[in-house]
Amino acid sequence: MKFLNVIIVLSIALLLFSCGEDSSTNPDDPNGGDPTSNALVPVSTFILPDNARALAILLDYPYIYTAGYGCYLGIIDISDPANTSLKGSISTGPSSSGGWPYGDNPIAKRGNYVFVAYQTSWNTPDSLIVFNVANPSSPTIYAVLQSAKFPHDSRYFNFENIYILDTALYELRQHLREYSISHLPNFQIVDTILNNDLSYDVLGCMGIYSDYLYCAGNTNDHRLLTIDRHTRLLKGYIDLPNDVGYRRMELAYPKAFIWDQNYQGSSDFGNLVVEVNLSNATSPTVVRTFDAFPQYEVDSTTYPFTLNDIAVGSDFLALGGSNRSLLICDFDMQLIKATIPGSGDFGEDNWAIQVSDSMIYALSTRQLSVFQYSD
């Protein structure tokens, strides 16, 4: 009986000791040992091949499509996030050495086709390449559309930002142009909705929801335009704050976040982000503007932050920026987590981010980092 009492006392003492132990000293705990903290857990890191300097990604489960230099298209299998792998790739096109994804939204997908806007070199025709990815292990080039010159001008239109809805492909830069893609490999210009004029020069970014196209100006006219995609008529607009070009938009209806990628932390505007409410499509309202973290801290070291990309989760925002940084914040722009994943040997600060449920996929040139977030 005495022996049993000794065992019980020792067990209780051991339990109390283990509960009082400071787990925050454990270097392997990514969340500082606090079981109640929001967890941003590294899942895997995938390194793309040497020739794959990727600048844009598109998530269409179970694959992520990466577009890069040399008219490169890589298809990464993410069905097992802990063991991502290269499913297939192709690196041929108008230029094997040039040819990079151009613009802030240069990749889109419909069915078995991935569309990428490439620039081959300065002052030459750009190309919109359609890849057939029905067999993801062996993608092929299905069609190529080269840009035309401006009327009465030697310059070329730039293929830059492309968006797809139903059988329409919208291409945005010096104009907003609609193509029919219902009879590929043939492209048919349906309409040039907005042309290169002083009123909307140059269009920087666009979002699509339901019956409306939302376009923001990059230079000269800093407005958010609402366009009926059926009648192609301007239905309304609002002026956006400050004289800064807007080149990126992340639309998560009824919210839209609009910003200028790589604004270099200007003392005037910093990482300016504008949040817009689109509930009233013809009369959207600016909810607020904010500076998205001029700096952040990781392991007691402060780093400057230049915003490149925003992805919207169910109740959080994932921000990618300079030095491979990944920041997680809530919709009130309160910072939750900050990290610098991966290796500088394979990544630069040209980030593209995609979010699916609790999974976050962040691209830094040749490095795809996968995280799982829980609050």
Q: What is the DSSP string of 161-208?
A: EEEEETTEEEEESSSEEEEE-TTTT--EEEEEEE-SSSTT-SEEEEEE
User: Residue 207: which of 265, 284, 119 has the closest Cα?
Assistant: 284
- What pLDDT does 270 receive? 58
Q: What is the pTM of this model?
A: 0.80
d(CA 142, CA 130): 5
Reduced to 3 states (helix: H, G, I; strand: E, B; else coil), residue 122 is coil
SS3 246: coil
Beta carbons of 246 and 212 less than 8 angstroms apart: no
Give the count of beta carbons closer than 10 Å to the beta carbon of residue 185.
13
Integer angstrom CA distances of residue 163 from 160, 171, 198: 10, 7, 23
According to DSSP, the β-strands at 113-119 and 100-101 are antiparallel
**Longest Cα separation, the chain:** 103
Q: What is the predicted pLDDT for the residue at 343?
A: 64
Average pLDDT per block of 10 residues along the chain, 375 residues long: 47 44 37 53 88 82 89 92 94 58 78 85 68 96 73 54 83 79 85 60 78 79 85 87 76 88 48 90 89 82 85 89 86 87 64 88 87 88
pLDDT score for 6? 44
Strands 39-47, 367-374: pairing kind: antiparallel
CB 121 within 8 A of CB 95: yes
